Amino acid sequence: MPIKTKGLVPRAWRILKRVVIFLFVFQLFYLLLLKWVYPPITLTQLGSLLGGDGLKRSYVSMKDISPYAKLAVICSEDQLFPDHDGFDFKSIEKAMKHNQKSKSLHGASTISQQVAKNVFLWQGRSWLRKSLEVYFTFMIEWMWGKKRILEMYLNVSEMGKGVYGIEAASHSNFNKPARNLSRLEAAKIAACLPNPKVFTIKPLSNRVATRSVWIIGQMGILQNDPDIQKLLQ
């Protein structure tokens, strides 16, 4: 009996359109929801859990995070964070020039880009993931604002093997809540961020020891900037 193909293509197209519309509406709803709540889990956290690294995580609000921690991650990761719209194009251009001449790759991701990747996407360097990262970066800058982006960054970033967020990192390394972190302790956690599984506080890696001193110096320079002060309050 011949297979009836007439009408299958239009039907498949209608189904595909409905799926695309549903996914688009769902991600808008999820984006808006995360302006006030934290993600139940991220793909990176799920990978850590399934990969055997475990998952230590405790979400906390901005009022329960030391101003030193907020300042330290800005100084370490994205000093233009209060001023840009999600992308630091000068740093991107500089990183591209470096990567063309060197085998070691330099990144230029802002805090906003890292939040977009860590909350909504997976780890990797594919063009698809990078394109989605651009989209979600624009969306969170537009829908959330800088304070919420920084708050989310401090709660979902990997800060140790299986350790996610500043509260878990603070307890894991210093046996205290994040609101009680000192300037040096906050700088040490921030110094781990490029690769927290390799750059460790316990035991103290050379990278963390040297970079934390640099971060403290930057904190002294930037702490009185009016735009940064607004984010620390």
What is the per-residue pLDDT across 143-152, written as a single tens digit (0 to 9) for each?
999 999 999 9
Residue-by-residue pLDDT tens, the chain, 233 positions: 455 556 677 787 888 888 888 888 899 999 999 999 999 999 999 999 999 899 999 999 999 999 999 999 999 999 999 999 888 766 555 544 444 444 444 456 899 999 999 999 988 778 888 999 999 999 999 999 999 999 999 999 999 999 999 999 999 999 999 999 999 999 999 999 989 999 999 999 999 999 999 999 999 999 999 999 999 98
Q: How far apart are the first and last CA of the chain?
A: 73
Burial level of 74, CB count in 10 A (0-12/13-18/19+)? buried
The tens digit of pLDDT for each residue in 17-35 reads 888 888 888 999 999 999 9
SS3 187: helix
Q: Quote the pLDDT of residue 194.
A: 81
CATH dotted code for 41-51+59-232 = 1.10.3810.10
C-beta neighbour count of 134 within 10 angstroms: 13
